[in-house]
Amino acid sequence: MSKTLNRLALMTMLAGVVALSITSVDARPGGSKSSGSRGSQTNVAPPKTNTAPGTAQPMNRSINQGAPSSAAAAAPAGAAAAAAAQAARPSMARNLMMGVGAGLLGAGLFGLLSGSGFFSGLASLAGFFGFLLQVALIGGVIFLVMRLLRSRREAAMATPAAGAMGRDAQPAQNPMQRQMLGGMMGGGAATQAQPALQPLNLTGDDFGAFEKLLGDVQGAYSAEDIASLRAMLTPEMASYFEGDLSDNEAKGVVNRIANVKLLQGDLSEAWREAGGEYATVAMRYAISDALLDRKTGRTVEGDLTEVAEVTEVWTFVRAPGEGTADWKLSAIQQVA
């Protein structure tokens, strides 16, 4: 019995160590979440690189979440419209029953008016043929009306569906493919449906700025220096980081970071669009981080003496015409 308890205790301790190692990595800026915006490419996965051969995760937090495509939105809308039309369309059986009821009522009223009783109208051959004639006339009128309404409804539903397919039934393209396609088509409908993206050439100074921001952002986050973070981040990213720091304060902990060093990095894509210039860079870097108790300084999670390796995709943005020193961090994406 004692051996079993000792084994369970050992397994519990090992699970705790694993949990600490995972949590310490997740405590860094961005952590396990993918946050921020990449302009018009926010909902497009950045190209894979040698540094980050995996797929970048979609944004968990972003103010620039894209709306579903018109084709996807039109599908449920079209299905709902078809269901409503089917529910509103009287069936042929119901039409016949209505016609029969109307014929019986007409024959009965004829009998009553003639003084022979409600059902006497069906007793004579003339009443019977009159009943059949009424049924045929009512059924024919209903059939013609329903056919006309159905034709108009189908024509109205077919027009937007064809337009949606014409706009959205295009293969996915990366920015370079879209630009080449637009040039070959001479600025046709496909070019107008996509944002105007232009390739952006970067220099060694730009990559040096990205590496510097990696270390500076981590250092400011560790020091909880909100003013410095706001100078290096877009307002959106600053709001996320400030929220994370507030959560740490509410829990009575502080995230300390050390030993940040870029190990490998390469460009995923860089482009210019209306309102900004963007560069998405894959970075594998070393980092030590831990959560400490605010009052005692005791380590709660992680270990500042242990160095871990992290691979993330960072996106930077600057206004058109700005220089190397003006890049700001606009997104961090985890790599699956």
Residue 240 lies in a domain: yes
Residue 254 lies in a domain: yes
Examine the domain organization and report whether 203 and 251 are in the same domain.
yes
- Distance (Å, rounded) from C-alpha 18 to C-alpha 301? 11
Q: Which of 168, 184, 217 is the endpoint of a domain? A: 168
Predicted pLDDT of residue 163: 41
Examine the domain organization and report whether 204 and 164 are in the same domain.
no
Examine the domain organization and report whether 96 and 56 are in the same domain.
no
Residues 307, 259: contact at Cβ < 8 Å? yes
Domain that holds residue 37: 2-66+198-334
Residue 106 lies in a domain: yes
Examine the domain organization and report whether 61 and 152 are in the same domain.
no
Residue 19, C-beta contacts closer than 8 angstroms, at least 6 positions apart: none
Examine the domain organization and report whether 146 and 204 are in the same domain.
no
When pLDDT is averaged across residues 113-124 and rounded to a whole number, the result is 53
Confidence of residue 315 (pLDDT cuts 50, 70, 90): very high
Predicted pLDDT of residue 106: 52
Examine the domain organization and report whether 220 and 323 are in the same domain.
yes
Examine the domain organization and report whether 241 and 315 are in the same domain.
yes
Examine the domain organization and report whether 259 and 217 are in the same domain.
yes
**Overall domain count for the chain:** 2
Residue 38 lies in a domain: yes
Residue 262, C-beta contacts closer than 8 angstroms, at least 6 positions apart: 211, 214, 215, 283, 284, 285
Give 83-111 pLDDT, tens digit per residue.
Answer: 444 544 445 445 545 554 555 445 454 45
- DSSP summary character for residue 34: -
Confidence of residue 203 (pLDDT cuts 50, 70, 90): very high
When pLDDT is averaged across residues 225-241 and rounded to a whole number, the result is 97
Q: For the CA atoms of 216, 246, 19, 281, what is the dihedral angle to 10 degrees?
A: -30
When pLDDT is averaged across residues 304-321 and rounded to a whole number, the result is 96
Examine the domain organization and report whether 208 and 316 are in the same domain.
yes
Express the helix, strand and coil content of the chain in percent, nearest 5 each: 55, 20, 25
Examine the domain organization and report whether 103 and 248 are in the same domain.
no
- Kindly report the CATH number assigned to the domain that includes residue 217: 3.10.450.240
Residue 267 lies in a domain: yes
**Percent of the chain's residues with pLDDT above 70:** 58
Give 259-288 pLDDT, tens digit per residue.
Answer: 999 999 999 999 999 989 999 999 999 999
Examine the domain organization and report whether 22 and 163 are in the same domain.
no
Residues 236, 330: contact at Cβ < 8 Å? yes
* pLDDT of 21 strictly over 90: no
Residue 164, C-beta contacts closer than 8 angstroms, at least 6 positions apart: 70, 71, 74
Distances (CA, A) of 336 to 53, 58, 193, 282: 9, 10, 30, 13
- Distance (Å, rounded) from C-alpha 182 to C-alpha 269? 19
Residue 323 lies in a domain: yes
Confidence of residue 113 (pLDDT cuts 50, 70, 90): low
What one-letter code names the amino acid at 297? G
* pLDDT of 58 strictly over 80: yes
Pick the residue with more confidence: 84 or 164? 84
Predicted pLDDT of residue 187: 37
Q: Which of these ranges, 51-55, 101-105, 165-169, 326-330, has the smallest mean pLDDT?
A: 165-169
Q: Which of 149, 168, 187 is the endpoint of a domain? A: 168
Indicate the SS3 state at residue 319. Answer: coil
Residue 83 lies in a domain: no
Examine the domain organization and report whether 36 and 145 are in the same domain.
no
Predicted pLDDT of residue 312: 97
Residue 176 lies in a domain: no
Q: Which of 168, 189, 224 is the endpoint of a domain? A: 168
